[in-house]
Amino acid sequence: MNSLPGKPNEKNYENWEIFNHKNYTEADKIRQKEIRRLTSLARYEIEKSNKHSWLKKYFFPYIKPEELKDKVVLDLGCFTAGRVISWAEEFRFRKCYGIDINPIFKVAGEEFAKEKNIDAEFFTSQNENLPFENNSIDILISTDTFEHVSDLNKSMQECYRVLKPGGKLLALFPQYLQPFESHLNFVTKLPFLHWFFSSKKLTEVYFQILKDRGTDAYWYKSKKNYLEKWERLPTINGTSIRMFESILNNELWKVQWIKRPIFNDGRKADLLIFKLLKILCYPLVYIKYLDELFLGRICVICQK
């Protein structure tokens, strides 16, 4: 597991853990504000790119830009709001909201929205409950968040509750058996590990390596050395495609699946070898059970 070791970069402003680094915690207020802005800007600039925009890459042309204009939009798992501010700016939302688990994200979102002159509100929540009235949201977007929630069924119920009739949930997240998404990147970048080793063993080794790194890992090391009841591996709930299909059946969703194979994400996806592998894997995402291994991400448009 030490092969291809992974460590987070304290200057990678897409990682929330940088807020635990002394570069942030020991900085003065001016520098802290600048770091918060850089985290917002990192994802803002990705969304401004037509090539790498998550919204455009995955959900267009299945939805049209005009469907977003003058809508009330919620970004569930907004981090520091770079994505949702970019969307609001480009597609002219009537109002946008963001919600995430860390109060620092809320502050950063408010600061970035003010800088970009976007009408937005941000909330902090540690559970699946959404602080919105029934039938109050037109579009709900969630990218790379549902794999981290402790009760995905409850999250989906809440999404259904707050959406207006006819409203849409755009959900995008890696399923558990996706070979590159074990979320062990702070320790190793090897894919496929969770295909061959138990959750218990991987977790033991993961926490031991972080412990062995000592003070060097203070800012990204977990405060615990065990899995919560809902966790399959550290921070992720282990949702498979079949599990998510079962959850969708609990509400009267009208569901459209968008299927893209592995090797479809990241800058390496532009390399010729990955383009070829993506083509080879593409037919496999339409075969039941094989899709668990070769579908890049669960990507759905759910209409209430």
| 216 domain-assigned | no
CA-to-CA separations, 39 to 65, 100, 111, 172, in angstroms, rounded: 26, 14, 12, 21
* Listed residue (114, 122, 120, 53) closest to 93, CA to CA: 120
| 293 domain-assigned | yes
pLDDT value of residue 126: 85
Sequence-distant (≥ 6) Cβ neighbours of residue 266 within 8 angstroms: none
| 220 domain-assigned | no
pLDDT value of residue 79: 97
**Percentage of the chain modeled with pLDDT above 90:** 80
The answer to whether residues 193 and 182 touch, using CB atoms and an 8 Å cutoff, is yes
Domain count, the chain: 1
| 202 domain-assigned | no
Residue with tokens 């970004």: 75
> Reduced to 3 DSSP states, what percent helix, strand and coil does the chain have, rounded to the nearest 5?
40, 15, 40
| 244 domain-assigned | yes
| 228 domain-assigned | no
pLDDT value of residue 53: 87
Q: Domain range for residue 130?
A: 16-178+233-303
* Listed residue (30, 27, 41, 39) closest to 89, CA to CA: 41
| 260 domain-assigned | yes
The strand pairing partners of 98, in sequence order, are 75, 122
CATH number at residue 111: 3.40.50.150
pLDDT value of residue 37: 98
| 204 domain-assigned | no
User: pLDDT 10s digit of each residue in the chain, 304 long?
Assistant: 545 667 888 889 999 999 999 999 999 999 999 999 999 999 999 999 877 788 998 999 899 999 999 999 999 999 999 999 999 999 999 999 999 999 999 999 999 999 999 999 999 998 889 999 999 999 999 999 999 999 999 999 999 999 999 999 999 999 999 998 889 999 998 989 999 999 999 999 999 999 999 999 999 998 888 999 999 999 999 999 999 999 999 889 999 999 999 988 766 677 788 788 888 889 999 999 999 999 999 999 999 9
pLDDT value of residue 109: 98
